[in-house]
């Protein structure tokens, strides 16, 4: 990838969305999502969107807005619990395969098979052999999905350490968000560097031409939601598409490149 020199450093000031502007843009984009879904149902297309990121990165809020007005019969959000004993003894990808989209379906994975490259690696929930095998095999697995006709899109929501701390602290004090608290969350800040290292290896080893990673600078929740929805829409064709509306800001959502790690476009 060739980088323009003006992009050698991350932008210090991203656009801010006022509440009214955010609501209007979100409404307009959700109308586009409804149009997209009509086309998916008519053509039998299959779409899978993978949303990954650190604890507190805003995955739940993004996904809620993404699917909020889409048809429930053809839309699914997959957020799998801890594997059962039987699932632990099965082929690793087996529990995910059954949730892949059928004709006309739009499926969002709130965390995915990439648990093995993140939480499982850092928390010691898998062996190093299992971890290395995953990194070796996952590009081939995803190539099989795409060759079968699934349109696969992968996003990593990237936040700074200070922002993660602020969000996790706010979560602890909010009685409506107690369900989000876990022992893994409690380790998130303590293991920040380990998660950064695991993220870097994951992005470098598992981005590939058929299913590249897109990184999202996600410290601003409103901007994250708007720009990811734009990016998803920009990659899919459907009638009456508003091309201008669906053009994402490349300062917020951009294809992963290893150079961005040293240029600090991705939080160290």
Q: What confidence tens digit (pLDDT) does each residue in 47-98 have?
A: 999 999 999 999 999 999 999 999 999 999 999 999 999 999 999 999 999 9
Residue 248: phi and psi, rounded to 5, are: -75, 160
Dihedral of the alpha carbons of 203, 209, 211, 213, in degrees to the nearest 10: 30
Mean pLDDT of the chain: 92
Q: For the segment 133-189, what is each residue's pLDDT rounded down to a tens digit?
A: 999 999 999 999 999 999 999 999 999 999 999 998 887 776 766 655 566 666 888
Q: Name the phi and psi angles at 164, rounded to 5.
A: -65, -45
Residue 128 to residues 79, 103, 104: CA-CA distances in angstroms? Answer: 24, 37, 38
Is pTM, for the whole model, over 0.85? yes
* In the predicted structure, residue 247 carries a pLDDT above the cut 50: yes
Close Cβ partners of 206 (under 8 Å, ≥ 6 residues apart)? 114, 117, 135, 138, 139, 142, 213
Among 171, 179, 199, 187, which residue's Cα sits nearest to residue 58?
A: 171
CATH of domain 19-262: 3.40.50.300
- Could you tell me if 157 and 53 are in contact, meaning their C-beta atoms sit under 8 angstroms apart? yes
Residue-wise pLDDT for 188-226, tens only, equals 889 999 999 999 999 999 999 999 999 999 999 999 999
Residue 39 φ/ψ, nearest 5 degrees: -70, -40
Contacts 24+ apart (CB under 8 A), 177-183: 180/60
């Amino acid at each position: 990838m060739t980088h323009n020199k003006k992009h050698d450093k991350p932008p210090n000031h991203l656009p801010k969305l006022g509440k009214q502007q955010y609501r209007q843009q979100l409404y307009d984009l959700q109308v586009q999502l409804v149009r997209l879904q009509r086309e998916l149902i008519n053509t039998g297309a299959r779409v899978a969107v993978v949303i990954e990121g650190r604890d507190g990165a805003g995955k739940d809020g993004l996904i809620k807005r993404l699917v909020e007005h889409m048809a429930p019969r053809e839309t699914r959000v997959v957020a799998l619990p801890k594997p059962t004993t039987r699932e632990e003894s099965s082929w690793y990808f087996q529990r995910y395969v059954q949730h892949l989209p059928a004709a006309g379906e739009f499926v969002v994975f709130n965390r995915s098979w990439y648990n093995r490259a993140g939480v499982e690696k850092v928390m010691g929930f898998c062996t190093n052999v299992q971890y290395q095998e995953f990194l070796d095999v996952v590009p081939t697995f995803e190539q099989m999905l795409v060759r079968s006709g699934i349109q696969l899109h992968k996003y990593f929501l990237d936040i700074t350490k200070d922002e993660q701390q602020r969000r996790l602290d706010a979560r602890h004090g909010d009685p409506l968000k107690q369900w989000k608290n876990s022992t893994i969350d409690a380790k998130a800040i303590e293991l920040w560097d380990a998660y950064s290292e695991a993220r870097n290896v994951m992005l470098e080893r598992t981005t590939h031409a058929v299913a590249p990673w897109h990184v999202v600078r996600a410290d601003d929740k409103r901007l994250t939601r708007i720009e990811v929805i734009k990016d998803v829409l920009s990659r899919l064709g459907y009638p009456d598409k508003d091309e201008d509306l669906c053009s994402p800001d490349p300062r917020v959502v951009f294809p992963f490149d290893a150079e961005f790690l040293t240029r600090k476009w991705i939080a160290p």
